[in-house]
Amino acid sequence: MQYPLQLALVTGSTGWLGRRLVRLLAARDFDHDALRDLPSTLRLRCLALPGESTAELQAMGPNVEVVTGDLRNAADCARLVEGARGACLFHASGIIHPRRVKDFYEINVQGARNLLAAAEAAGVHRMVAVSSNSPMGCNPHPDHLFDESSPYHPYMGYGRSKMLMELAVKEAEARGNLETVIVRPPWFYGPDQPPRQTEFFSMIRRGKGPIVGSGNNLRSMGYVDNLCQGLMLAALTEKARGQIYWIADRRPYSMNEVIDTVERLLEEEFKLPVAHKRLRLPGVASEIAGLADRTLQSFGLYQTKIHVLSEMNKTIACSIGKAEKELGYNPKIALEEGMLRSIQWCLKQGIEI
């Protein structure tokens, strides 16, 4: 199944998923039988943007090296992979909520192309590219699940940029100089979360948890350590080469279930007062937001809250059957335990919910 992993390269190492992956790699702390014997000599090289704080990364262990650079600069990509023949590259960098639509294409697309070219030239063994559910858009009906054969139907600028990134990865695979695997995680949650996820918890506590329409629409979600397990299995499984995998929790959750679970944990497990209310909006609110979002993006503009509202009544759900069968993927943490750990992490960091 495995090849000897001696050097792992990680882009997006100061982001949510990338930082968590580096933390687990540095500690060799994956809850999966196939990932228990990572070598103690494993070296990690992380790409961080100029000006970003890297103290947390460097504190993760003596085997963690930080390279400062920007994916939009081909020379910076070349520095990241210098002397990395035989390494595995985890490409977890990307922009989700930019100031301008063109950032999607400069970072998610051209940045990936720069990285692929550098990795091929340096003799990197395999690249695991983190994509998204957005290239597939929204499910065509409520009981539908995306799988790896689902056609592209990208959701606005972000979805199109991730689709183009996937196509660039496939082109590199076809050239034959670099092994590649594409991983599609959905909305994820868990420790090391950014402020936007903590604000979601705060909204639920204040009685402003958003329910658009009935709240019965399903969302696949991924606990962050489950996702990191999937990334590692994609990196080390020989037959994963050239494949795409959806990586998420075992089943999707309704928006009602997500918000009810967080509310219950805040109150019962952490003894925090909650308002026991919801911010309920008709389903048409998401459709109006979608129209506004498309209009803004057609002018090159992007507004995060409008974009998020446009998705709130949509079903975005996937099957992980292929990853379970071919990778041995086994997501052990589900919504209840994952959200408990998320809230616990916030409180331990002194972050107010």
pLDDT for 37 equals 87
Mean pLDDT of the chain: 96
In DSSP terms, 8 is beta-bridged to 44, 88
pLDDT for 3 equals 60
* pLDDT tier, 134 (very low <50, low <70, confident <90, very high otherwise): very high
320-345 pLDDT, tens digit per residue, is 999 999 999 999 999 999 999 999 99
Q: What is the mean pLDDT of residues 296-304?
A: 97
Share of the chain above pLDDT 70, in %: 99
Give the containing element (helix H, strand E) for 38: none
Q: Where are the domains of the chain?
A: 7-192+222-250+316-332
Which parts of the chain fold into alpha helices (H)? 16-27, 55-58, 74-80, 102-103, 111-122, 156-175, 195-205, 224-236, 255-264, 284-298, 304-311, 321-327, 335-348
pTM of the model: 0.96
Q: What is the mean pLDDT of residues 254-274?
A: 98
220-253 pLDDT, tens digit per residue, is 999 999 999 999 999 999 999 999 999 999 999 9
8-43 pLDDT, tens digit per residue, is 999 999 999 999 999 999 999 898 988 988 998 999
93-125 pLDDT, tens digit per residue, is 999 999 999 999 999 999 999 999 999 999 999
Q: Which CATH number fits domain 7-192+222-250+316-332: 3.40.50.300, 3.40.50.1970, 1.10.150.120, 3.40.50.720?
A: 3.40.50.720
Residue pair 219/315 in contact (Cβ under 8 Å)? The answer is yes
Buried b (16+ CB within 10 A) or exposed e, 310-330: bbbbbbbbbbbebbeebbebb
Please check the confidence at residue 2 and state whether its pLDDT lies above 60: no
Please check the confidence at residue 216 and state whether its pLDDT lies above 70: yes
Length, in residues, of the chain: 353
